[in-house]
């Protein structure tokens, strides 16, 4: 009996997912939807934690209890973790508001994931559907840089059940906080089946139709011996562009139902690519921009988009910008730091800002974009500078 109930629940959940996706497709007028999202925000770009303003940015239910619980937790943390904890909670609240009424931040900070020391869970109906990570799990140079950031990870279920317009709202948050998208999955569903099925995809790959800008993507397959719940992976995570074509109906309803639902899920990563927030606003364009084959699949689904290509940045170029930023950081610390410290101490704020704003980049860094420098420069300093505890204003007194 238990097994039957479990199967029935699975089918009902699958139908709910399908109905929700179809409604989102109609509301957004886009065949492609965001199915996973991760982004990082530097602590210095996130608003400071201010208890008297929290009512403006959090859910209204049991606000006094939630705030007291948060303050109690923060007070138990070491000094250098308190700001990050509060800022992480604020960001989690903003993310929940962007997702919609059904979402809320958990009242307890849990053990972290992906080398973050702790995380604020993002919940829907009591289940964790994402999180905001803060703090570093170790004191290594790389981890010290991570400690200066907050990371948001939204699972597929959060994206699926978020209220219409959530992706645009999330894009505004990322832009406002100068965040960086680290992963975004773009999903295209053929609910009633894809002509020729997943076998056709394999045939087209072998015929070279899936080649992207003259390059044949790597191929791996899963569950083909079973003949059900099959997947094809084209591309690689290391290249920052991987497409998973899989039998979604088997996953949701079970193989015996015989669902024809096939999903094309394009997964972009930021290892060697810069992911613009327009990806959240125009997912169909970026799906079509992955290759001519992706654009053709999208047309077959009934959607014609203006292909938007995400450029590939070769690893040697990434290593080059890191090396140049390290060189510049050493020069600043060894030669210019004392003069900058004097200027900061004795000039007025207006004079100091005039000194450091609207200046050209050093010649050796002039060829790199803002996106190239944003992470590399911060990481370069993290190798040599151990952040002091407490707010910046206090550390400079």
Rounded average pLDDT per 10-residue block, the chain, 397 residues: 45 84 94 98 85 44 58 65 88 97 94 94 96 88 83 97 97 96 98 97 96 91 93 92 97 92 97 94 97 97 94 70 82 84 86 81 75 72 56 36
Residue 166 to residue 383: CA distance in whole angstroms: 37
What is the per-residue pLDDT for 56?
43
Nearest to 229 by CA among 258, 209, 270, 200: 258
Q: What is the pLDDT of residue 66?
A: 62
- The two beta strands, 116-124 and 103-105, are antiparallel
Q: How far is CA 199 from the centre of its chain?
A: 32
DSSP state of 215: B
Confidence (pLDDT) at 363: 76
Give 213: exposed, middle or buried? Use CB within 10 Å, 0-12, 13-18, 19+: exposed
Q: How far apart are the C-alpha atoms of 205 and 215, rounded to whole Å?
A: 12
Using CA atoms of 150, 153, 159, 160 in order, give the dihedral in degrees to the nearest 10: -150
pTM of the predicted model as reported, rounded to 2 decimal places: 0.75
């Amino acid at each position: 009996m238990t097994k039957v109930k479990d199967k029935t629940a699975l089918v009902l959940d699958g139908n709910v997912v399908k109905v929700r996706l179809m409604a989102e497709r109609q509301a957004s007028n886009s065949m492609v939807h965001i199915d996973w999202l991760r982004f990082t925000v530097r602590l210095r770009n996130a608003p400071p934690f201010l208890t008297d303003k929290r009512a403006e940015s959090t859910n209204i239910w049991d606000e006094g209890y939630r705030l007291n619980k948060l303050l109690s937790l923060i007070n138990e943390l070491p000094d250098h973790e308190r700001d990050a904890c509060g800022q992480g909670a604020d960001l989690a609240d903003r993310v929940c508001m962007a997702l919609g009424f059904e979402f809320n931040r958990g009242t307890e900070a849990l053990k972290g994931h992906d080398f973050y020391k702790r995380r604020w869970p993002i919940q829907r109906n009591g289940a964790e559907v994402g999180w905001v990570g803060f703090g570093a799990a170790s004191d290594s140079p790389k981890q010290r840089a991570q400690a200066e950031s907050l990371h948001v990870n939204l699972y597929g279920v959060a994206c699926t059940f978020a209220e219409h317009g959530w992706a645009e709202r999330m894009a505004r948050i990322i832009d406002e906080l100068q965040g960086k998208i680290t992963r975004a999955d773009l999903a295209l569903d053929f609910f009633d089946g894809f002509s020729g099925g997943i076998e056709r995809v394999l045939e087209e790959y072998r015929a070279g139709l899936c080649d992207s800008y003259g390059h044949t993507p790597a191929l791996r397959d899963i569950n083909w011996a079973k003949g059900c719940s099959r997947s094809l992976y084209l591309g690689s995570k290391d290249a920052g562009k991987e497409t998973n074509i899989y039998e979604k109906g088997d996953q949701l309803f079970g193989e015996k139902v015989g669902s024809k639902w096939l999903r094309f899920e394009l997964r972009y990563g930021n290892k060697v690519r810069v992911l613009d927030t327009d990806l959240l606003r125009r997912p169909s364009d970026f799906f079509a921009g992955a290759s001519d084959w992706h654009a053709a699949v999208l047309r077959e689904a009934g959607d014609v988009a203006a292909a938007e290509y995400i450029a590939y940045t070769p690893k040697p170029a990434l290593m080059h910008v890191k090396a140049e930023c390290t060189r510049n950081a050493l020069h600043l610390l060894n030669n210019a730091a004392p003069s900058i410290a004097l200027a900061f101490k004795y000039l007025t704020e207006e004079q100091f800002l005039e000194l450091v704003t609207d200046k050209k980049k050093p010649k050796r860094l002039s060829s790199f974009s803002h996106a190239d420098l944003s992470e590399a420069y911060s990481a370069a300093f993290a190798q040599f500078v151990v952040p002091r505890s407490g707010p910046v204003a206090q550390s400079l007194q």
